[in-house]
Amino acid sequence: MMRLYAIRYAENFKYGTYDSVYRNIEENGKRIEKFAFLYYLAEHKGKYMLIDTGFRDKTLATNMGVTLLDVEQGLLNVFGKMPQIHKVILTHSHWDHVNNLDLYQGASVVMSQATYNSIMQEGEIAVKSALHKCSITLVDDEIWIDDIFYFRVIGGHTLDSSVIYFEVNEKNYVITGDECYLCDNAVKNKPIGICVNAKKNEEFIDKIYREKWIPLPFHDKKIINQYRRLSANIVQVI
């Protein structure tokens, strides 16, 4: 059986405002307290898969008003050693989702063709270099990954924005990338404020709302509070 963990590696964000998270609201510019930065780690058949990588650049963090958190000791305490990542799945090309890819050179990488194109055009040199050393699977629309994750390109938040559907114990989950910033985007059927294609984002959020998929976003502190806490910044979702 698969195990899935959420790791909070940073918090706070000066651009993490309610009007960026929710469309058509009046609270323009009001910041969300303790805006979270997460990535997910899946353990399946003795191997580890990472869903997005986070980032670690202190200068970038300072410029963005982000507080980086030390999660290494927590990972060591939970797993006994640093998990050896054999596969990385990228939901889209934004800095907080891909910039640590150079830490996992040699892992295989799954991402959309559009994510690859975006990284090669605008990404950090270290990320581009890492991709040259990885086995890459590029996806135009959808693909099953290791018979557990159904990866699908949505293209609402960004042109390359993708999500990951999966089922465990008769419960349906979706790792939302940034098609949802918070659980409430899905639970309350509220589209996000920052997107390149509003219609595609609305359709995705309406689908998971109507079909009652359990959302797993990357920026909601609720994820750390509502699942089984293993350390200050690590929870076991499944």
Single-letter code of the amino acid located at 29: G
**Buried b / exposed e across 66-95, counting CB within 10 Å, b at 16+?**
bebbebeebbeebbeeebebbbbbbbbbbb
Structure confidence at residue 53 (pLDDT): 98
Contact between residue 11 and residue 66 where contact means Cβ atoms under 8 Å apart = yes
The domain total for the chain is 1
pTM given for the model: 0.97
Secondary structure (H, E, C), 168-199: ECCEEEEECCCCCCCHHHHHCCCCCCCCCCHH
Domain ranges, residue 13: 3-236
What is the full per-residue pLDDT of the chain (238 aa) written as tens digits? Answer: 899 999 999 999 999 999 999 998 876 778 999 999 999 999 999 999 999 999 999 999 999 999 999 999 999 999 999 999 999 999 999 999 999 999 998 899 999 999 999 999 999 999 999 999 999 999 999 999 999 999 999 999 999 999 999 999 999 999 999 999 999 999 999 999 999 999 999 999 999 999 999 999 999 999 999 999 999 999 999 9
Question: Number of H helices and number of E strands within the chain?
Answer: 9, 14
Give the CATH number of the domain where residue 191 resides.
3.60.15.10
